[in-house]
Structure 1
Amino acid sequence: MTLIYGHRGAKGEAPENTLASFQQCLEHGVRRCELDLHQSRDGELMVIHDPTLKRTTGHRGKVVEHDAAELVRYDARKGGPGWKTPCPIPRLAELFEQCPFEHWQLEVKSASKARAAQMAEAIAELTARHGLTDKVTVTSSSREVLSALKRLTPQLARGLVAEYAWLDPLKVAQHYGCSLLALNWTLCTPERLLKAQKAGLHVSVWTVNEPALMRRLADFGVDSLITDFPGLAVQTLGDA
Structure 2
Amino acid sequence: MTQVYGHRGAKGEAPENTLAGFVHCLEQGIRRCELDLHLSSDGELMVIHDPTLMRTTGKLGDVIEFAAKELVRMDARQAGPAWPVPCPIPRLCELFAKCRFEHWQLEVKNVSKGVAEKMAKEIARLADQYSVSEVITVTSASTLVLDALREFAPHLKRGLVAERSLRCPVDKALRYGCSLLALNWKACTAERVAKAKGAGVHLSVWTVNDASDMQRLAKLGVDSIITDFPTLALSTIDEWATAESH
Coarse TM-score class (shorter-chain normalised): over 0.9
Aligned length: 240
Q: Which residue of 2 aligns with 1:79?
A: 79
Q: Which residue of 1 aligns with 2:119?
A: 119
- C-alpha separation between the residues in 2 aligned to 1:228 and 1:27? 16
Dislocated runs of 4+, deviation >2 Å: 164-167
**Once the 2 structures are TM-superposed, how far is the Cα of residue 171 of structure 1 from its aligned partner?**
1.7
Q: Which residue of 2 aligns with 1:210?
A: 210
Residues 12, 229 of structure 1: 8 Å contact kept: yes
Give, as a single letter, the amino acid of the residue that structure 1 aligns with 2:48: I
Residue segments in structure 1 that go unaligned for 5+ positions in a row: none
**Once the 2 structures are TM-superposed, how far is the Cα of residue 150 of structure 1 from its aligned partner?**
1.0
**Once the 2 structures are TM-superposed, how far is the Cα of residue 166 of structure 1 from its aligned partner?**
3.4
Residue correspondence of structure 1 range 113-192 to structure 2 within 5 A: 113-192=113-192
Give, as a single letter, the amino acid of the residue that structure 1 aligns with 2:183: L
Please state whether the residue corresponding to 2:46 is helix, strand or coil. Answer: strand
Please state whether the residue corresponding to 2:203 is helix, strand or coil. Answer: strand
Q: Which residue of 1 aligns with 2:70?
A: 70
Please state whether the residue corresponding to 1:177 is helix, strand or coil. Answer: coil
- C-alpha separation between the residues in 2 aligned to 1:60 and 1:149? 31
**Once the 2 structures are TM-superposed, how far is the Cα of residue 200 of structure 1 from its aligned partner?**
0.8
Give, as a single letter, the amino acid of the residue that structure 2 aligns with 1:77: R
Deviations 1:108-159 (A, max 9, x none): 0011111000000000000100000001000000010001111221101000
Residues 164, 184 of structure 1: 8 Å contact kept: yes
- C-alpha separation between the residues in 1 aligned to 2:237 and 2:81? 24
**1:2 pairs with 2:17:** no
Q: Which residue of 1 aligns with 2:38?
A: 38
- C-alpha separation between the residues in 2 aligned to 1:32 and 1:221? 18
TM-score w.r.t. length of structure 1:
0.98
Deviations 1:42-92 (A, max 9, x none): 000000000000100010110000000000000001021111100000000
Give, as a single letter, the amino acid of the residue that structure 2 aligns with 1:212: S
Please state whether the residue corresponding to 1:124 is helix, strand or coil. Answer: helix
**Once the 2 structures are TM-superposed, how far is the Cα of residue 164 of structure 1 from its aligned partner?**
2.5
- C-alpha separation between the residues in 1 aligned to 2:153 and 2:117? 9
Residue segments in structure 2 that go unaligned for 5+ positions in a row: 242-246
Q: Give me the CA root mean square deviation.
A: 1.1
- C-alpha separation between the residues in 2 aligned to 1:110 and 1:129? 26
Please state whether the residue corresponding to 1:232 is helix, strand or coil. Answer: helix
